[in-house]
Amino acid sequence: MSDQVLSLGERLKQRREELGISQAQAARELEVARTAYRLWEMEAAKPAPDRWRLISRWLGMSVATMLLAEDLVDEGEARQAEVITGRFGPLRWDEEGGREGGEYFDQERALISRAVHEGRLSTGESADLMAVLERIQLRTRQRRTTGWRDAELRKELPADPSAPALARAAVVVAAAGVPEHLLLDAELLTSELVTNAIVASPDDAEGITLHVLVSEDVLRLEVVEPTVPSTGPPAGAADGRDLRLVIALASRWGGAREGDTYVTWFELDLPRGSSGRPA
């Protein structure tokens, strides 16, 4: 598999495994919360530009190469930029940029201006780099405002203790881009419902089905069990059937028999106004 095919999350994981460190340790090295780092690895969230230099250095690549994996530049733009900046020496351009003031884009503009002033870049090259930078900044802004995408996912899970982890991973990926605290709540609620379903199911049960729906203003998750339990899930029991977290964190939740299945579900309201999604 060539480098070009790997996502940023996969690259981070690869590097972390090379270094033999945990996610928490990687988060410390990249100066982010461990929850943020974990979501990056799962491709459920993207690092902000103020982390790009640190991350690309940690990965041993230029920012341009990293942005290519992130689809924030296309191959032509990346090549164009590297032809110019590569003259400064391997990764030197990024190193110099890091010493300028302000956030990532300010730093790049300052470096380009300074390099022209010092005769290290022609005005033509400066114009090319500025144009690419503009496009990266625009795409970054667009990505921030469009947030998450509509998603629908159905997944079969085994009726055993491995199900909650599989379900969590599926939900986090489906809801990629949702604000972090809501993503973490969705992950937790998923784990609670799926745990309840497998704990309540008989030993010889067939699997359960997960159904995730992400729309502009709500995340809905349903857990469908093929058999109907003889009693409903009791709240407050200390054996995996505790509903207190569901009650506290979900916008709405419920459980009902539907034909020969039993469906438990929760909904989380998503911040519609701030997502700024186009109609």
Binding site for another protein (CB under 8 A): 22-25, 33-35, 38, 161-162, 164-165, 168, 181, 184, 187-188, 191-192, 195, 198-199, 238-240, 242, 244-245, 248-249
Question: Please, which residue, 109 or 168, has the CB nearer to another protein?
Answer: 168
> In residues, how long is the chain?
279
CB of 219 to another protein, least distance (A): 17
Q: Is 73 helix (H, G, I), strand (E, B) or coil?
A: coil
CB of 113 to another protein, least distance (A): 41
Quote the distance between the C-alpha of residue 44 and its chain's center: 2
Question: Please, which residue, 48 or 247, has the CB nearer to another protein?
Answer: 247
Q: Which two tokens stand for residue 216?
A: 């502009």
Q: Is 36 helix (H, G, I), strand (E, B) or coil?
A: helix
Q: Is 219 helix (H, G, I), strand (E, B) or coil?
A: strand
Let me know if 64 is exposed, middle or buried by CB neighbors in 10 A (0-12, 13-18, 19+): buried
Q: Is 231 helix (H, G, I), strand (E, B) or coil?
A: coil
Q: How far apart (Å, rounded) are the C-alpha atoms in residues 228 and 224?
A: 10
CB of 30 to another protein, least distance (A): 14
CB of 189 to another protein, least distance (A): 9
Question: Please, which residue, 241 or 277, has the CB nearer to another protein?
Answer: 241
Question: Please, which residue, 36 or 110, has the CB nearer to another protein?
Answer: 36
- Indicate left, alpha or beta for 147 from its phi (over 0: left) and psi (-120 to 50: alpha): left
CB of 164 to another protein, least distance (A): 5
Question: Which string of DSSP letters, residue by residue, matches 97-128?
Answer: HHTSSSSHHHHHHHHHHHHHHTTSS-HHHHHH
**End-to-end alpha-carbon separation of the chain, Å?**
38
Question: Please, which residue, 75 or 239, has the CB nearer to another protein?
Answer: 239
CB of 273 to another protein, least distance (A): 23
Question: Please, which residue, 44 or 78, has the CB nearer to another protein?
Answer: 44
